[in-house]
Amino acid sequence: MPTSEPRAPHVPSTGGARRPGKEPLPRPYLLWLAGILASLAGNAVFFFALGWAAGAHGGAVAGLVLSAVTLPRVLLLLVGGVVSDRFSARSVLIAGDAAMFVLSLALAAAAYH
């Protein structure tokens, strides 16, 4: 009794044209991806440097400093989720970045004086 194996369907040649699903990623997406990768690398370096500097004053101080950085982020994450459900996510992100920028400038000015 002969066994017949299933045959693969014939796929016509595209003649070098791009197949669907293989298009290059859009330029705005690649720019966003590069920006978010730079931001994440900056955050990683910042937390490492913060822990390193606080570690010079002892392990307990380093633990307190790193907890003081992480705790507000966790608490504000819950509030930010509620607010972004109520308002548009774009406006919440812009307002949050603007507030972070103003606070960073104020802290830099305070540290300078």
How confident is the model over 10-31, as pLDDT tens digits? 665 555 556 566 788 999 999 9
Residue with tokens 């103003």: 102
CA distances, 23 to each of 18, 20, 30 (Å)? 7, 7, 13
Q: Per-residue confidence at 8, pLDDT binned at 50, 70, 90? A: low
In this model, does residue 32 exceed pLDDT 90?
Answer: yes
| Predicted pLDDT of residue 39 | 92
| Predicted pLDDT of residue 19 | 59
Residue type, 46: F
In this model, does residue 52 exceed pLDDT 80?
Answer: yes
Q: What is the pLDDT of residues 63-111, one digit of tens each?
A: 998 888 888 888 888 888 888 889 888 888 888 889 989 999 999 999 8
How far is the C-alpha of 42 from the C-alpha of 46, rounded, in Å?
A: 6
- Span 35-52, mean pLDDT? 92
Instruction: Tell me the pTM.
Output: 0.49
